[in-house]
């Protein structure tokens, strides 16, 4: 796969906890019942010192706190973890990705000081005052605005990520203007691929929204404007016109590993080391074809502890069989049990 010395970027998921209940996040089943595979795992600063020892941190150019399941602002040790990383490498780019509705202004102000001029906080805000919480359920617009203002006033470099849906596509330009008035340094339109229906080869299938009891209470939809649709939608449409199945579509792809290209590594809130967050998502996501295929490897990995960074050193894990053979041998076209997640995410 890649050499340990080549790794320059780490995606660190510090917690499986979050305040929100977004309908297309695997933390809850369509925003309702909690995913029973989660344990609310969370990394302490001592864990991170073990997972990312000083000599490793100093070879990196960037560490960003994001994740599949949790919001880094919800973790108890986030500031201490960032302080550790900054101490080890004053040059390191540090990033924090959050819905912005956790913690208070004082915490966000302190965060700006800890990150300093080399790094950013990226706020996931999918709409304006009336629409953001349609997807970012359980978040408070007032709280987000207070936290954003505190972070920017303390000198923080703030960026705004905006996922476009049918319910907020008319507000994109207004949100962009607001971001400029508030002092955000960047505004990114995100085109989601989460409306994928593998049976019908449709990347714009409406998605259910459920309450904590599992009852459907609403539906969310993909944006109507095709410029806001993920490239996957166009590709699937072309495949459907050729009468291909989803399996055929995946088989037609050549896998070029993004983790390898970006020289990056993912660390889960349980301390597992994997090439990327997409594989991390396969370990604890609700049941599905791709999840089952990758998760079938997991009992052996767990038993051997071979990807557990709290038991083994990161360099030992990366030179091990899982990184160097078990994943990449499942990439070539025609391989039995070819990894579907890799073909979907990194197929060209």
Note the residues at the interface with ligand SF4 (CB under 6 A): 255, 257-259, 275-276, 278-279, 327, 341-342, 345-346
Q: Closest distance between ligand SF4 and the C-beta of residue 294, in Å?
A: 9
Q: Closest distance between ligand SF4 and the C-beta of residue 263, in Å?
A: 11
Give me the DSSP letters along 235-303. Answer: HHHHHHHTT--HHHHHHTPPB--HHHHHTEEEE-TT-BEES-HHHHHHHHSPS-HHHHHHHTTHHHHHH
Tell me the pairing of strands 93-98 and 119-124: parallel
Q: Closest distance between ligand SF4 and the C-beta of residue 268, in Å?
A: 13
Q: Closest distance between ligand SF4 and the C-beta of residue 40, in Å?
A: 25
Q: Closest distance between ligand SF4 and the C-beta of residue 304, in Å?
A: 19
Nearer to ligand SF4, 156 or 280 (CB): 280
Q: Closest distance between ligand SF4 and the C-beta of residue 342, in Å?
A: 3
> Please, where are the H alpha helices in the chain?
45-51, 54-57, 78-88, 105-115, 132-135, 141-153, 172-182, 231-241, 246-251, 258-262, 277-284, 289-295, 298-304, 314-318, 321, 340-346
Q: Closest distance between ligand SF4 and the C-beta of residue 140, in Å?
A: 34
Nearer to ligand SF4, 2 or 184 (CB): 2
Q: Residue 181 has what DSSP assignment?
A: H
Overall size of the chain counted in residues: 348
What DSSP element (H or E) covers 93? strand 93-98
CB 13 within 8 A of CB 280: yes
CB 166 within 8 A of CB 130: no
Q: Closest distance between ligand SF4 and the C-beta of residue 74, in Å?
A: 25
Nearer to ligand SF4, 124 or 346 (CB): 346
> For the chain, how big is the Rg over CA atoms in Å?
20
Residue 87 CB partners (closer than 8 Å, separation 6+): none
CB 172 within 8 A of CB 189: yes
List, in sequence order, every residue forming a beta bridge with 347; answer none if it has no partner.
Answer: 255
Nearer to ligand SF4, 63 or 255 (CB): 255
Q: Closest distance between ligand SF4 and the C-beta of residue 346, in Å?
A: 3
Q: Residue 328 has what DSSP assignment?
A: G
Nearer to ligand SF4, 116 or 320 (CB): 320
CB 15 within 8 A of CB 41: yes
CB 109 within 8 A of CB 154: yes
Question: Which residue's entry shows tokens 């025609």?
Answer: 334
């Amino acid at each position: 796969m890649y050499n340990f010395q080549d790794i320059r970027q780490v995606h660190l998921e510090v917690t499986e906890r979050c305040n929100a209940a977004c309908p297309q996040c695997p933390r809850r089943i369509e925003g309702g019942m909690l995913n029973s595979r989660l344990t609310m795992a969370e990394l302490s600063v001592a864990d991170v010192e073990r997972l990312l020892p000083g000599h490793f941190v100093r070879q990196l150019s960037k560490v960003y706190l994001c994740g599949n399941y949790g919001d880094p602002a919800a973790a108890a040790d986030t500031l201490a973890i960032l302080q550790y990383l900054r101490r080890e490498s004053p040059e390191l780019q540090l990033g924090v990705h959050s819905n912005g509705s956790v913690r208070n202004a004082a915490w966000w102000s302190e965060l700006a000081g800890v990150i300093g001029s080399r790094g950013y906080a990226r706020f996931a805000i999918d709409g304006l005052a009336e629409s953001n919480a349609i997807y970012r359920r359980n978040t408070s617009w007032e709280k987000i605005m207070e936290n954003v203002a505190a972070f920017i006033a303390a000198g923080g470099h703030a960026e705004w990520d905006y996922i476009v849906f049918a319910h907020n596509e008319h507000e994109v330009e207004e949100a962009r203007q607001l971001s400029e008035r508030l002092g955000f340094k960047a505004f990114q339109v995100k085109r989601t691929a989460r409306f994928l229906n593998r049976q019908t080869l449709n990347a714009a299938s409406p998605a259910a929204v459920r309450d904590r009891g599992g009852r459907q209470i609403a539906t969310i939809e993909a944006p109507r404007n095709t410029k806001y649709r993920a490239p996957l939608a166009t590709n699937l449409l072309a495949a459907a016109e050729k009468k291909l199945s989803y399996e055929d579509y995946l088989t037609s792809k050549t896998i070029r590993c993004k983790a390898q290209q970006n020289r990056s590594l993912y660390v889960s809130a349980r301390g597992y080391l994997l090439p990327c967050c997409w594989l991390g998502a396969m370990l604890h996501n609700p049941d599905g074809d791709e999840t089952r295929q990758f998760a079938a490897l997991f009992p052996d990995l767990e038993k051997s502890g071979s990807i557990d960074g709290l038991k083994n050193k990161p360099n030992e894990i990366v030179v091990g069989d899982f990184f160097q053979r078990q994943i990449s041998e499942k990439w070539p076209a025609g391989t039995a049990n070819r990894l579907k997640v890799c073909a979907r995410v990194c197929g060209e």
